[in-house]
A = this chain, B = another copy of it.
Amino acid sequence: MKSELALVERIRRRAGRPRRLSLAIGDDCAIYTPAAGEELLFTTDMLIEDAHFRRGTHKAADVGYKTLARGLSDIAAMGGAPRFCLVSLALAEWTDERWVDGFYTGLLELARATGTELAGGDLARADKVMADIVVCGSAPAGTALRRGGAKPGDGIYVTGALGGSALGLESRRGMAWRKHLRPEPRLKAGAALREKWGATACMDLSDGLSIDLHRLCAESRVSAELDGDLPVYPGATVAQALHGGEDYELLFTLPAGVKAPRSIGGALLTRIGSIRRGNAGRIRIEGFELQPLGYDHFRKP
């Protein structure tokens, strides 16, 4: 491995000239000069070897791609447009220059496709690879979509199909595995939900529908009744669709009167239920209570 200075210089060259940033990699801080009337959205996500990926099955470029994709998914969930990101990368003994290059190839590929500039980061050594990303997005002031605005009577919707990532992780084959490795952040759908469709609440499905819908309802102080057809990913089980993590689809609510389109920003929409009054966070499905079983890093087995 080269010296840190040489490595930073190499990443800086690959990131290209900053356009929206006044200053990017190479100083104590990166500088962003906000436009008038914008609010800035910030999210942070870790990707850790053996917790979120394995060196044997995940290529460096997939790890880089997914590190950014997870952050962008949070920006999409607020209806924001990505602006820039900062990436902290702890490298293990087994990583070589090719791995580092691959990581940034995957990350920068998605960054370019979504208009996200690489503003900076930190490099360190550790026993296992750990990537942490902060993504900054932008929306007109006061318009970002939050979790807490769902109202009784609102329809509950999801983009795409659910359970694909869990199926992919199990089978390691086909489109489901690809969906697990390279989830597509629903940036266009999120922006349209904010601009045109008046979504009352929105979040991304990172830990699984059952726990994420529970969170949305808890934050909105309402309950949910699942009464629509669940868009189960082809080949996935209903349990994977209900509880599987990392689908990175959007979960959102629209006011009762709104007739939702069939698709939005390239993603199919499915109405899966309705918001109900009271019992903050409770979810009912076919008369039973749905337990929030999605992924929780700290739950005791």
Contact = CB atoms under 8 A, between A and B. Distances in A.
Interface of A: 1-5, 7, 22-23, 26-34, 36, 38-46, 48, 50-52, 74-75, 77-78, 80, 86-88, 90-91, 119-128, 130, 132, 134, 136-137, 141, 144, 146-148, 202-204, 215, 219, 296-300
Contacts of A40: 31-34, 40
A34 B138 CA distance: 11
A120 B30 contact: no
Contact of A43 (B29, B38, B52, B202): B29
Copies in the complex: 2
A134 B38 CA distance: 20
Contact of A128 (B39, B127, B144, B148): B127
A141 to B, nearest CB: 6
Contact of A29 (B51, B125, B137): B137
A144 B7 contact: no
A124 B90 contact: no
B4 A48 contact: no
Contact of A74 (B28, B137, B141): B28
B29 A120 contact: no
B124 A88 contact: no
Nearest to A86: B44
